[in-house]
Amino acid sequence: MTPSASLPLDGIRVVEFTHMVMGPTCGMILADLGAEVIKVEPPGGDKTRRLPGLGIGFFRTFNRNKKSVVIDIATPAGQAEAVDLIGECDVLIENFRPGLMREFGLDYDALSARYPRLVYASHKGFLPGPYDKRLALDEVVQMMGGLAYMTGPPGRPLRAGASVNDIMGGMFGVIGILAALRERDRTGRGQEVQSALFENCVFLCSQHMQQYAMTHQPLPPMPARVSAWSVYDVFALAKGEQLFIGAVSDKQFFALCALLERDDLATDPRFATNAQRVAARTELIPRLAASLASRRVDELMPQLEAAGIPYAPIVRPEQLLDDPHLKASGSLVPMTTDDGGTTDVVLLPLAMGGRRLGVRQALAKIGEHTQEILGRFKSRASDRH
């Protein structure tokens, strides 16, 4: 566990009403940056703790460095406790279904009248508009935001293999919160920040939208794309192994030809430039593939690296737990879990002043900090009343 001294958001207090991925991601990033993040859980705990299948890792991944308080915000007494707690915080994060926080009297309009300095961050499926009452999932917005169409082969839209919109939606929530806190420094007033899955997904696909606007040609999905580069493929190597190779410049192409001892390809005038090679890909790629089929991945990778040619093995998530670069760079660190065990977790992908933003405390048990937090704030709340 790393100490919390001198972190960027020291002194900022956040109260989090969230579940699943999007809201918790936002809170985790703020917590890693040094904010005191208080996660409010219902009696029995956040149901995300008990998700099966592909959701089993959600809670451990997106809830580190937080404190846990149990409050039943579905009851009048719980709502009163929550309001008092919110009054001690700079930021509120929520990602419940549209309208739920208003039903509990915990919406921005109600709270900002009482706490004008509050920064209130809502994470939803859609920003205000015709769709804003719909319930959304990462799959939903990937299908309607262009990403699933671009990912799968023609006729088979495919969800990306990670919760890309949930995670990035939480990241955009953080950006909005930090901007709102900076603006509060000047104006003395907080504001509502809204981040949404659908708009996030459309932003991810905006490059494809501009491509159509410029060419007026419908875009093929990525598996059927016309590549901008001649060599940009996954190749089959010896022993059933695979390797991505991307020779995206003339220099890299000729270096690849030299490495594979294919002077015939390097000197063929039809392959002299990238544009010519793209036009002749149907002939070029099979010839390269034939030379690669007998090569071993472990032998070829250092040769490609020495030649300055981009490459990548096809790695499964479980293999990353033993990745030598992640371990050496400090990207994987141990965290004590809520059941007393230990697991390696992935830190935020950034360094500040040469330091990584690490794990400062064990993953909170359900309601572990209820007495500490509520006891600390109740006396101050009664003084305000």
pLDDT at 4 over 70: no
Confidence of residue 315 (pLDDT cuts 50, 70, 90): very high
Domain 13-205+323-384 has CATH 3.90.1640.30: no
Question: Are the beta carbons of 47 and 347 closer than 8 angstroms?
Answer: no
- CATH C-level class of 227-315: alpha beta
How large is the average pLDDT for residues 248-274? 97
Distance CA 246, CA 75 (A): 58
Q: How far is CA 326 from CA 249, 322, 330, 332, 348, in A?
A: 29, 8, 6, 6, 12
How large is the average pLDDT for residues 207-216? 96
Chain segment 342-382, per-residue pLDDT in tens: 999 999 999 999 999 999 999 999 999 999 999 987 766 56
Bridge partners (DSSP) listed for residue 38: 15, 67
3-state helix, strand, coil in the chain (%, to 5): 45, 15, 40
Domain ranges of the chain: 13-205+323-384, 227-315
Bridge partners (DSSP) listed for residue 235: 243
pLDDT at 385 over 60: no
Chain segment 76-132, per-residue pLDDT in tens: 999 999 999 999 999 999 999 999 999 999 999 999 999 999 999 999 999 999 999
pLDDT at 241 over 80: yes
Question: Are the beta carbons of 296 and 237 closer than 8 angstroms?
Answer: yes
Same topology, domains 13-205+323-384 and 227-315? Answer is no
Q: Copy the structure tokens of residue 232.
A: 């940009």
Chain segment 169-198, per-residue pLDDT in tens: 999 999 999 999 999 999 999 999 999 999
Question: Are the beta carbons of 292 and 235 closer than 8 angstroms?
Answer: yes
Which letter does DSSP use for residue 58 in this model?
H
Chain segment 118-174, per-residue pLDDT in tens: 999 999 999 999 999 999 999 999 999 999 999 999 999 999 999 999 999 999 999
Q: What is the pTM of this model?
A: 0.94
pLDDT value of residue 6: 87
